[in-house]
Amino acid sequence: MKSIIFIAPPAAGKGTQAVMLSSKYNIPHISTGDILRNAQDDTERGKYISSEMAKGHFISDEIILELLTERLSQSDCENGYILDGFPRNIKQAEEYEEILNKLNKDLGIVIVLDIDKEIAKERIVGRISCPKCGSVFNDMIEESMPKEAGICDKCKTKLKKREDDNAESFEVRFEGYLAKTEPLIEYYQNKNILYRVDSSLGKDITFNQIEDILRGSK
């Protein structure tokens, strides 16, 4: 099984696909956000990370790369993994490859989840989630609406909307993706390891496209 890097704008379904792949192929889904949260311990580094995140500050690439190296060195990554949220720019991509060289790991493949901007915005603006069980719904997309308006289908808890799930925040995040992350597409295209998937067609169709890529890239 090859390791996978996802490149995707907001609301393209990157997290959903990563979870589905991790479950089916029994490989770890490695999120930089999770790595940072798990690193908040009683060590000097852990206390620093906790303090900086509480202030809303970005954590330096140096620390993220250190944590990522430690995570990729663990035994469950020997047969591949899914990398979510990293790299975000070409500098990080180059540093990531240095880590792989040290660990004697293959770069794997890169999958771009393409989605129309307006469809992505609809997913973000209409997204509502359950604070108890984590289930996610959308009150603007018929197939994703809860059966009872504002109530979780699974545990009947009142659904909530995240503060940053609004049109203004989406525009900022989408433009940030275009400016900083999209250049990675050309970078990986030149390495002949990049594939594209239409993620606007629903999670199951998107997943089938990804599986076709995995079968063809072995």
Q: Which domain CATH number covers 34?
A: 3.40.50.300
pTM score > 0.85 for this model?
no
- Judge whether 127 counts as a catalytic residue: yes
Residue 146 within a domain:
no
Q: How many structural domains is the chain composed of?
A: 1
Residue 173 within a domain:
no
- Rg of the chain in Å (alpha carbons): 18
Does residue 217 have a pLDDT over 70?
no
- C-alpha 117: how far from its chain's center? 17
Active-site residue identified among 132, 161, 173, 196: 173
Gap between the Cα atoms of 143 and 95, Å rounded: 41
Residue 138 within a domain:
no
Of 17, 68, 37, nearest to 197 by C-alpha is 17
Residue 157 within a domain:
no
Q: Which of 48-57, 106-115, 129-138 has the highest mean pLDDT?
A: 106-115
Question: How distant, in Å, are the alpha carbons of 36, 46, 69, 166, 213 from that of 52?
Answer: 11, 10, 21, 25, 39
Residue 176 within a domain:
no
Domain that holds residue 33: 4-115+181-216
Residue 142 within a domain:
no
Cβ neighbors of 19 (< 8 A, separation 6 or more) are 29
Active-site residue identified among 14, 71, 121, 123: 14
Residue 153 within a domain:
no
pLDDT digits (tens, 9 = 90+) for 93-126: 999 999 999 999 999 999 999 999 999 999 888 9
- Judge whether 14 counts as a catalytic residue: yes
Active-site residue identified among 158, 162, 180, 191: 162
User: Percentage of the chain with pLDDT > 70?
Assistant: 99
Residue 36 within a domain:
yes
Band (pLDDT 50/70/90 cuts) for residue 78 is: very high
- C-alpha 163: how far from its chain's center? 19
Q: Poorest-confidence range of 110-114, 158-162, 190-194?
A: 158-162
